[in-house]
Amino acid sequence: MTRDTRPSDIVFKNARIILEDEVITGTIQIRDGKIADISSGNGISGEDFGGDYLMPGVVELHTDHLEHHYAPRPKVRWNADAALMAHDAQIAASGITTVFDALRVGLDGDTDINSDDMVLLADAIADGQNNGRLRADHYLHLRCEVSSPNCLDAFELFEHNPQVKIASLMDHAPGQRQFASLEAYKTYYMGKQKMTQAEFDAFCDRRVAESVAHADRFRKEIAARCQAKGISLASHDDATLAHVDEAIEQGIHVAEFPTTLEAAKASKEAGMAVLMGAPNIVRGSSHSGNVSARDLASAGHLDILSSDYIPFSLVQAVYTLPQLVDGYTLPQAINLVTRNPAKAVGFTDRGTLASGKRADMVRVHMQNAIPVVRSVWREGQRVL
């Protein structure tokens, strides 16, 4: 490493630097927003990390968290810009430097949010990005509920938006995919919506009918449009080999939350990146009773973790995974939330700590086996 660094350089020393395949104690030099050099040993200058970890900034492909800030209670709407700022602050505090905010495209009947709300949030994200108000780098992930009658119309509101980098094809109708168990579906929806049994039965009948009428056609149409525009595709809650075959045919890149070991294994063998929820790792199981992410990690069928509904679960999961799964290393776990998700959406400028990459970095201090995010940098600028 060059010792006579320029005044504009940022240097950190005595850091446990997490590389793609090893952890070294050393020094890292940042110049003009990029990593200029990494070396073992301590430099003669620079901020002393005191042995704290330095990892790449987290890349989050699927979080529904913005919606909770915007609509914190039924019939309540928060100012979209303020909601985004609150969401962004929590994202950054969780070590996430690149985030794909999930917006609903087509409604499945479990919310009073509509497409106008989604457009308002997308506009807030664009304005926040353009005016430098956001700590993280924000993009859009379209959650396409293909069984919804308005799914294609809603998709057309966003298909030309350059911030859209990934779209997931999902169908939450009962009796299949995530909710193959009707008891799990009943627990989720009757608890969330406070439905009576009669209301729940009518809800199920309507959702199944909508799926039969729309899901296949909308899935094919949206997949074709995304392929034409270079938007990465994800298939949501695949459960069977038939689902995986369908995903292969439609050019799917990411298998999101496969619900069975069989589907995860087949997706991986077909070249898809298998994504699971970090809360599943932390809790040890799926809230819907589906396959455990820990089991997929043990079997070698796990590529990416998503926070889904708890942003901090990403950092929490990867620093505990080596203790939960035999043979799993810390760099291997960190890749699940950095290198691998970046690769899945075609981002080659981030996701690893290496010369020439963006200086998106997170300082983590371990305290009683709990990872504490101390500082976050995006392109060499400290944002936390």
Ranking 210-224, 242-256, 282-296 by mean pLDDT, the lowest is 282-296
What confidence score (pLDDT) does residue 377 get?
98
Q: Are β-strands 53-56 and 232-236 bridged in parallel, bridged antiparallel, or unpaired?
A: unpaired
Domain boundaries, the chain: 57-349
Structure tokens given for 301? 């069928």
pLDDT in tens, 242-280: 999 999 999 999 999 999 999 999 999 999 999 999 999
Mean pLDDT along residues 365-378: 96
In this predicted structure, the answer to whether residue 2 has a pLDDT above a threshold of 50 is: no
In this predicted structure, the answer to whether residue 143 has a pLDDT above a threshold of 80 is: yes
* Spatial distance between the Cα atoms of 239 and 241, rounded to a whole number of angstroms: 7
* Spatial distance between the Cα atoms of 50 and 23, rounded to a whole number of angstroms: 15
pLDDT in tens, 153-187: 999 999 999 999 999 999 877 765 656 556 666 66
pTM of the model: 0.90
Considering only CA atoms, give the Rg of the chain.
21
CA 137-315-292 angle, to 5 degrees, is: 115
Are the C-beta atoms of 351 and 47 separated by less than 8 Å?
Answer: no
What confidence score (pLDDT) does residue 8 get?
65
What confidence score (pLDDT) does residue 187 get?
67
Assign domain 57-349 to its CATH architecture.
Alpha-Beta Barrel (3.20)
Whole-number average pLDDT of the chain:
91
Return the number of other C-beta atoms located less than 10 Å from residue 107's C-beta: 18
Are the C-beta atoms of 53 and 364 separated by less than 8 Å?
Answer: yes
pLDDT in tens, 96-111: 999 999 999 998 655 6
Amino acid identity for residue 79 in this structure: N
- The residues with which 169 forms a beta bridge, in sequence order, are 144, 235
Q: Are β-strands 361-367 and 370-378 bridged in parallel, bridged antiparallel, or unpaired?
A: antiparallel
Mean pLDDT along residues 318-333: 96
Q: Euclidean distance between the first and final Cα of the chain, in Å?
A: 27
DSSP string, 247-265: HHHTT--EEES-SSHHHHH
What confidence score (pLDDT) does residue 209 get?
83
Most distant pair of Cα atoms in the chain: their distance = 75
